[in-house]
Amino acid sequence: MTADDKHIPVLANETLDLLMAPFDGKFCRIVDGTLGFGGHSSRILERNPQARLLGIDRDRVALNASAERLRFAGDRVTLRHGRFSDIRTHVQSAGWDKVDGILLDIGVSSVQLDTPERGFSYRFDGPLDMRMNPESGMTAADLLNQLPEDELSRIFRDYGEIRQARQLAREIVRIRTKDPFDSCGKFAAVCDRVLKQRGGPPAPTLPFQALRIAVNEELKELEEALSAAMDLLAVGGRLCVITFHSLEDRIVKHFFQDMAETCKCPPGCPVCVCNWDAKLQIVTKKPVTATEEELARNSRSSCAKLRAAERIEKDNQQHKTEGEKAR
Ligand SMILES: C[S@@+](CC[C@H](N)C(=O)[O-])C[C@H]1O[C@@H](n2cnc3c(N)ncnc32)[C@H](O)[C@@H]1O
C-alpha cells in the first residue's frame, strides 16, 4: 500500500508547479492549510529540500497520519491542529511573519468520506456527524433536529442548489418532532422519498453535501482564509486554491478578480481617487482541471478546479499619479 492509497492528491503536478516553481532551489516558507494525508505537502518537501512547511488540519486523524508521512523532512515541518481561517495565528505561532506560498485543497478527504463512523456519506449507515473536527461544533444530526425549517431550506437551496429544498426541509421538520435524526441511513431515506431522483447522482448526494458545508462552515472558512492570505503572503508569494464545488470556485474567482483590480473608482470618474493598489496578479486565467489520465486514475478529480495568483507590490502608483483610469 503506498502513501497515496488513503487519499490521492488531486492536480498534484499542476499545483506543485504553480505553487513552487518560483522557489525551486531556494529557501521558502509554505503553508498547507488543508494538510489532509500529506499528499501535496510531501511532494512540496521532496521537490525543494530548502522548503519549510507549516501544515494545518482541523482533523486530528489526518494530522497524525501526516506527521508520520512527513517525518522524513525532520524539522522542516511544523504541524498545527485547527482551522485554516485562523491561519494568521498559526503562522505567528510557527515564528513566521510572511510566507511564500499558501495552498488550500478545500473539502473532505477520501478517508473522511469512506469512514462510516464519521457520517459524511449516504453509502454507509453511520452516525449523522459530518464534523471535520469531531472535537467541537454541532453535528449534522444537531442541525437537522434543531434548525428552523426556513434555515434548513436555505441550506439545501444555497449549498446544494436543490429545487425541492422547501419540501425536503418541511418533511425533516415533520419527522423530527416524533423521531429525531441520528443516522445517515435515515436522512438518506428521506432524501430518496422526497427528491425522487430520476437519472443523475443518487438523491442524497446534494443534501449530504449541503449539510456538510453548513456543519463545517466551509464557505465562511474559505472567505476568511483568502482575506488573511493577503496579509501573510510576501511579494512574489503564490496562493493556490483547489475547489470541488461551484460555490467555492466562484468565491475564489471573484476574490482573485477583486484583488487584481487596479482601480475601484466608480465608472466615469475622471481622476482616480480610490487609492486602491492591486494586491494580486492572476496566474491562471482559467481554472486548471484534471487531465484524461488523472480522471482515469482518480474519479474525485472530475470536479476539481485549481486557481493560482501571485502577491504583487503596489503596482499602480504610476497609473494613479497620471490620473489614468483602468476602466
Ligand atoms: C481534500 S483534503 C486535503 C488532502 C491533501 N491535500 C492531501 O493531498 O492529502 C482536505 C483536508 O482539509 C481539511 N480541512 C477542510 N477544511 C478545513 C478548515 N477550514 N481548516 C482546517 N482544515 C480543513 C480536512 O479535514 C481534510 O483533511
73 and 195 inside one domain: no
Q: How far apart, in whole angstroms, are the C-alpha atoms of residue 172 and residue 111?
A: 28
184 and 229 inside one domain: no
- Which residue did the predictor score with more confidence, 261 or 320? 261
Mean predicted confidence (pLDDT) in 218-232: 98
State percent of the chain over pLDDT 90.
85
For the chain, strand residue ranges (E) read 28-32, 51-57, 77-81, 99-105, 233-243, 280-282, 305-311
**Distance of CA 283 from the midpoint of ligand 1 (Å):** 23
pLDDT above 50 (res 322): no
Q: Looking at the domain assignment, is residue 80 inside a domain?
A: yes
Residue finishing a domain among 215, 231, 250? 215
Q: Looking at the domain assignment, is residue 325 inside a domain?
A: no
Q: How far apart, in whole angstroms, are the C-alpha atoms of residue 76 and residue 41?
A: 11
Pocket test for ligand 1, best of 57, 115, 216, 219 (most atoms within 8 A of CB): 57
Indicate which residue's Cα is closest to atom 5 of ligand 1: 36
pTM of the model: 0.93
Q: Looking at the domain assignment, is residue 323 inside a domain?
A: no
**Distance of CA 267 from the midpoint of ligand 1 (Å):** 40
Indicate which residue's Cα is closest to atom 26 of ligand 1: 36
**Distance of CA 169 from the midpoint of ligand 1 (Å):** 29
pLDDT above 80 (res 43): yes
The pLDDT value given to residue 2: 60
Q: What is the pLDDT of residues 244-286, one digit of tens each?
A: 999 999 999 999 999 999 888 888 888 888 888 899 999 999 9
104 and 8 inside one domain: yes
Q: How far apart, in whole angstroms, are the C-alpha atoms of residue 226 and residue 251?
A: 9
C-alpha cell at 284: 491562471
Q: Looking at the domain assignment, is residue 327 inside a domain?
A: no
Q: Looking at the domain assignment, is residue 282 inside a domain?
A: yes
Q: 31 pairs with which residues across the strands? A: 54, 102
Q: Looking at the domain assignment, is residue 43 inside a domain?
A: yes
**Distance of CA 6 from the midpoint of ligand 1 (Å):** 13
Q: How confident is the model at residue 316 (pLDDT cuts 50, 70, 90)?
A: very low
Could you tell me the residue range of the domain that residue 58 belongs to?
Answer: 3-109+218-264+277-314
**Distance of CA 84 from the midpoint of ligand 1 (Å):** 9
Q: How confident is the model at residue 3 (pLDDT cuts 50, 70, 90)?
A: low
The pLDDT value given to residue 1: 55
The pLDDT value given to residue 327: 40
pLDDT above 70 (res 317): no
- Whether 33 and 233 have beta carbons less than 8 Å apart is answered as no
- Whether 33 and 102 have beta carbons less than 8 Å apart is answered as yes
281: domain CATH number is 3.40.50.150
191 and 223 inside one domain: no
Q: Looking at the domain assignment, is residue 49 inside a domain?
A: yes
Indicate which residue's Cα is closest to atom 22 of ligand 1: 57
172 and 309 inside one domain: no
The pLDDT value given to residue 323: 44
171 and 295 inside one domain: no
203: domain CATH number is 1.10.150.170
The pLDDT value given to residue 321: 45
Q: Looking at the domain assignment, is residue 119 inside a domain?
A: no
Q: What is the pLDDT of residues 137-186, one digit of tens each?
A: 999 999 999 999 999 999 999 999 999 999 999 999 999 999 999 999 99
Q: What is the pLDDT of residues 50-97, one digit of tens each?
A: 999 999 999 999 999 999 999 999 999 999 999 999 999 999 999 999
- Average pLDDT, rounded, for the chain: 93
Q: Which of 35, 53, 49 is nearest to 96 (CA)?
A: 53
165 and 103 inside one domain: no
Pocket of ligand 1, beta carbon within 6 A: 7, 9, 34, 36-40, 56-59, 62, 83-85, 105, 107-109, 132, 221
Domain count of the fold of the chain? 2
197 and 235 inside one domain: no
Q: How confident is the model at residue 318 (pLDDT cuts 50, 70, 90)?
A: very low
Residue finishing a domain among 179, 196, 215? 215
**Distance of CA 83 from the midpoint of ligand 1 (Å):** 9
Q: Which of 320, 209, 301 is nearest to 262 (CA)?
A: 320
Residue finishing a domain among 192, 215, 238? 215
61 and 8 inside one domain: yes
Q: Burial code of 205-217, b = ≥16 C-beta within 10 A, e = fewer?
A: bbbbbbbbbbbbe
Indicate which residue's Cα is closest to atom 8 of ligand 1: 39
Pocket test for ligand 1, best of 132, 218, 241 (most atoms within 8 A of CB): 132
- Whether 37 and 68 have beta carbons less than 8 Å apart is answered as no
234 and 102 inside one domain: yes
User: Which residue is listed with cell 503562522?
Assistant: 91
69 and 144 inside one domain: no
Q: How many CB atoms lie within 10 A of CB 161?
A: 14
168 and 45 inside one domain: no
Q: How confident is the model at residue 196 (pLDDT cuts 50, 70, 90)?
A: confident
